Structure formats: C-alpha cells, structure tokens
C-alpha cells in the first residue's frame, strides 16, 4: 500500500485491530501498526497519541453527539435531542458495514483492564459533552445531566442489543427503543 494513499487514520485503525487480533494488544507496537498500514511511525503519531487511542478515535464521537444535540429541532425536549444524537451515532458509527469492526474493537477492549478503564473514561467524556450540548440549548444543568445520563444508559443498552443482532437492525431505531425502555422504567421507580 502506498504511503500517499488517503485515509491514513482509518488504515491505521484497521491495521491495529488486525494485529491486536493476531498478536494480542500487549504484543503489538506502534511500529507494527504503522508498517501493517504501509505508513511510517511519524504518521501514526500525527493521528494518534498512542496505541490505545487508535481504538478510541479522539474526540470525534463527542463532537458528533454534541453537534447532533445542538442541531436537534428547537422544539425537541432534552431526551428528544439526545435521541437525535443517538440517530446520528447510528448513521455515522454504528452502521451495518462497521458492525464487525465495532465488535472486534469491543472484544479487544473487554480483554484488557487498561482499555476497559480508558473506555470508561471516554464514556464519562461523552456524557460531559452531551450535558454541555444540552446546556447550550438552554436546558438547566440538572435536567441536562439527567438527560445525558439516561442517553448514555440507553446508548449502552442499544449497543448491546445492536451487537447481538444479525438482522442488520438500524442502531438509531434500537437506541430510540432503548431510550423509551429506560424512560418507562424510570416511571415505575
């Protein structure tokens, strides 16, 4: 693969997942990843801070969710704005074409405590981004935080459901159902 080809970050991410599956996370170096992608070590570090970050995509997901919340219709309730963000995640991240890659990524993370910890921190960052986006819409602080937390819970439930289905169901549809289920369960508390 020529070094000048586009999509270096994506190539590095694919190479990393392949190597983590073949050799294990601990036995894969940044140089291994860069070589597998047909790139140099310096190109790797232009895109990722370290080999953990190749699994976590920087702040792109935060920006996607926050942007979708801000862009939700002005009449949307806080949870409807969060649902709008979950729809965006389904269109951009949790697509049928990426299902296998997402599952492979999750398997690597699940097998390593260090990566599970990083995933938990990333999820806290996502919740904070969603809360700030809701506050930008004028939602009071506590309401924004609760809506973001419920959205995060619905997203986790939706991910579990989506990753277990082989039918190709749309993540956004599954996420909206999970959000409805979470909302209904809080009514009975």
The 10s digit of each residue's pLDDT in 132-163 is 999 999 999 999 999 999 999 999 999 888 88
Mean pLDDT of all residues in the chain? 89
| Same domain as 128, residue 102 | yes
What's the CATH code of the domain at 100? 1.10.357.10
CB neighbour class for 132 (10 Å; exposed up to 12, middle 13-18, buried from 19): middle
| Same domain as 161, residue 106 | yes
Report how many domains make up the chain. 2
Give the integer Cα–Cα distance in Å for 175 and 38. Answer: 37
- 71 lies in a domain? yes
The string of pLDDT tens digits covering residues 32-67 is 999 999 999 999 999 999 998 888 876 778 899 999
pTM: 0.83
155: containing domain: 57-183
| Same domain as 152, residue 63 | yes
| Same domain as 66, residue 45 | no
- 1 lies in a domain? no
């Amino acid at each position: 693969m020529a070094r000048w080809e586009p999509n270096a970050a994506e190539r590095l991410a694919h190479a990393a997942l392949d190597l983590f599956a073949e050799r294990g996370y601990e036995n894969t170096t940044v140089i291994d990843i860069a070589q597998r992608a047909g790139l140099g070590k310096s190109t790797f570090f232009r895109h990722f801070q370290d080999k953990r970050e190749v699994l976590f995509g920087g702040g792109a997901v935060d920006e996607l969710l926050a942007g979708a919340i801000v862009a939700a219709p002005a009449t949307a309730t806080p949870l409807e704005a969060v649902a709008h963000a979950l729809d965006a995640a389904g269109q951009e991240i949790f697509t049928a074409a990426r299902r296998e890659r997402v599952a492979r990524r999750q398997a690597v993370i699940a097998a390593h405590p260090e990566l599970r910890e990083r995933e938990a921190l990333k999820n806290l960052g996502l919740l904070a981004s969603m809360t700030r986006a809701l506050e930008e819409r004028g939602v009071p602080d506590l309401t924004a935080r609760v809506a973001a937390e419920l959205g995060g819970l619905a997203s986790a439930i939706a991910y579990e459901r989506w990753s277990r289905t082989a039918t190709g169901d749309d993540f956004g549809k599954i996420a909206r159902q999970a959000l409805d289920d979470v909302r209904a369960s809080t009514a009975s508390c």
